[in-house]
Chain A
Amino acid sequence: MRQTLTSDVRVTKDSGYTIPWHQRRKTRQTIQALIVYALLLPGAIIFLFPLVWMLSTAVKPENQIFLFPPKWIPEPILWSNFWDGWNKFLPFNLFLRNTLIITVNNIFGNLVSSCLAAYGFARLRARGKNIFFMLVLGTMLLPNEVTIIPQYVLFSLLKWNDSWLPLMVPPWFGWPFFIFLLRQFFMNIPHELDEAARLDGASSWRILWNIILPLSKPAIASVVIFAFIGNWNNFLAPLIYIRSLDRQVLAVGLNMFRGQYGQTNFGYMMAVALLVLMPVLIVFFVGQRVFIQGIATSGLKG
């Protein structure tokens, strides 16, 4: 323990004593870094390989898929698998259009309703506010499955079955996780700003629109990204509500593809799966910094 102390305080300068190389701070740091890399790099490769494998299978001719040992780079590289898989079996273009419409609507709905609620919880004083906020937190912990059956009954009574309404209406009524995330962010904006605006006679809505929202772009961006990925991947709700093929979405379509063309066509299946995944990957890479920040803040300050 003494040694750690002496090597940190630089004795070398004044006294003639030189620290042996293996005790020098620089060397120690380098060794430490090497150990960390040695531990992290294999893991990183393991984490990446499934996706590489996915791409490799996606461009394989059928007769090379089950080769053992596998060929990482097939000959020839069949880019046409993407086109064929997408167009020759199920109407994926239609699924894509449907998914896009629903996702865009849901992002807007989530954003508008959650921003409003979060603003109320973060910045407006009212009696009973804490009780309502406890309800928000409570529903965050509640498993979906408890409400999904009665919701199904409700939407059946409204004759919304086999339409997009059960998917597109609820997002306009707030999403607890987004309300929570935005509230945490709004809370940290200095109160002097809206207090001053209020004295000047600005309404609550003006404050939200002109002060709070412009200062909250990172939080809004992470909500948009979360909402995009969540809705894009949503599987259970369309599975339950949508029956007609021409109203179906990508996630369920992809599972149908698996069910119908089964265990043999892994090349086409990987190609189509990769295409479905692509927008998520792109959004992730474009927004990765904001996104990581968003998820990090959501975990703190409970």
Chain B
Amino acid sequence: MQTIIPSKRRSFSLKQREEIDFYLAIGLWLIGFILFTGGPILASLLFSFTDWTGVNISKAKWVGLANFHQLLFDDKLFWIATRNTFYYSFGSVIFGTLGAFIIALLLNQKLPGSTLLRVIYYLPSIASGVAISILWLWLFNPQSGLINYTLSLVGIKGPMWLGSQQWALPALVLKSLWGIGANMVILLAGLQGIPVPLYEAARIDGASKWSEFRNITVPMLSPVLFFVLVISTIASFQIFTDVRVMTQGGPGTATYVIVYFIYQTAFEYLKMGYSSALAWLLFLIIFILTLLQLWGSRRWVYYESGERT
């Protein structure tokens, strides 16, 4: 904190001094925003209109929308990556949110041992990263992995998982479900925030459990559910570590996803212009999806102001 503490100068009023302090307080963030976020966003937009390849930017030529045109109309890999990313996202978000919701509902009661259960369900979601990707590589091992062993106990011959065109992507979805604990905790906090008198009133009116769930729990929880949906959609579109460590996009292009595409194009083939265009398309996809969710949320998300907005 090297900020200069304004001494008791009379020239500033209290209000002005508070305003100066505000800018000092957010100063570091603001500089960082300009240098590492805002500036780069503009720069990457500029890059995306060039054919810049390699290290030296001076050789880059302005090509207009050519990169976008090529991506959308000529590059099969782009569509494969997009399809795979959507597949992964839908799978992990839908099953992930639903699973987290069910576990949160079950855990939302005062039962002996529920704290322990909560910790167990939550634990895997913090244990992410390369170490866990490697663990799952081993769990999915077709011959000796735990998953196929468990399946063999009930008489099912498990698939090749990461070695199979058909099963590699579902395997990544399955792995992502191991991390639903984070969503569960958020939903659980939401459930505990629902005022108890609502349920008491419903009980006096003779409401059934199901109708309590439908008419109190779901609407009261809907803003939190919505938040969870948006956050997990955005996160799922950015899957990278698992792909890089577990499949490298394969077999074939079965798990080739957008961020892995960006990574390879930029940092292995050094096609900076092309990959910037790709990054912008990813951003657009996420942005549109978020808007769609926001728009769709009017139908089902309930805000306490009393009316559906």
Contact = CB atoms under 8 A, between A and B. Distances in A.
Interface of A: 1-2, 4-5, 8, 32-33, 36-37, 39-41, 43-44, 47-51, 53-54, 57, 65-70, 112-114, 116-117, 119-121, 124-127, 129, 132, 135-136, 139, 141-154, 156, 170, 172-174, 179, 198, 201, 203-205, 208, 229, 232-233, 235-236, 239-240, 251-252, 254-255, 258, 266, 269-270, 273-274, 276-277, 280-281, 284, 288, 291-292, 295-300, 302
A69 to B, nearest CB: 6
* Top 6 A-B residue pairs of the complex, sorted by shortest distance between their CB atoms: A173-B32, A120-B25, A233-B129, A296-B189, A299-B186, A174-B29
A48 B8 CA distance: 59
B103 A295 contact: no
29 contacts: A37-B111, A44-B120, A50-B135, A51-B127, A116-B28, A120-B23, A124-B18, A124-B19, A135-B33, A135-B38, A143-B279, A143-B283, A146-B279, A147-B44, A150-B40, A152-B266, A154-B39, A204-B18, A229-B126, A233-B130, A236-B240, A240-B267, A252-B130, A258-B134, A266-B138, A276-B131, A284-B127, A299-B185, A300-B189
Contact of B22 (A36, A129, A170, A297): A129
Given A147-B41, A152-B266, A299-B224, A53 B234 contact: no
A148 B44 CA distance: 9
Contacts of B23: 120, 126
Contacts of B120: 44, 47-48
Interface string B1-35: 10101101000001101110111111111111101
A245 to B, nearest CB: 16
A195 B106 CA distance: 44
Contact of A277 (B39, B109, B131): B131
A50 B124 contact: yes
B143 interface: yes
Contacts of B187: 299
B169 to A, nearest CB: 20
B43 interface: yes
Q: How large is the interface on B (under 10, 10 to 19, 20 to 34, 35 or more residues)?
A: 35 or more
A117 B25 contact: yes
A139 B37 contact: yes
Given A117-B26, A143-B282, A150-B44, A205 B36 contact: no
Nearest to B263: A236
A193 to B, nearest CB: 16
B222 interface: no
Contacts of A143: 234, 237-238, 259, 279, 282-283, 286
Interface in B91-142: 103, 106-107, 109, 111, 117-124, 126-132, 134-139, 141
Contact of B37 (A127, A142, A288): A142
A53 B178 CA distance: 15
B47 A142 contact: no
Contacts of B106: 36, 39-40
A112 B1 contact: yes
Nearest to B150: A49
A298 B231 CA distance: 12
Contacts of B17: 204
Contact of B131 (A204, A273, A298): A273
A40 B103 contact: yes
Contacts of B89: none
A146 B228 CA distance: 23
A47 B123 CA distance: 9
Contacts of A116: 1, 25-29
A69 B31 CA distance: 58
A66 B123 CA distance: 28
Given A129-B22, A204-B21, A255-B245, A150 B28 contact: no
Given A142-B283, A170-B32, A173-B28, 4 more contacts: A116-B25, A124-B21, A277-B127, A288-B119
Nearest to B21: A204
Contacts of B155: none
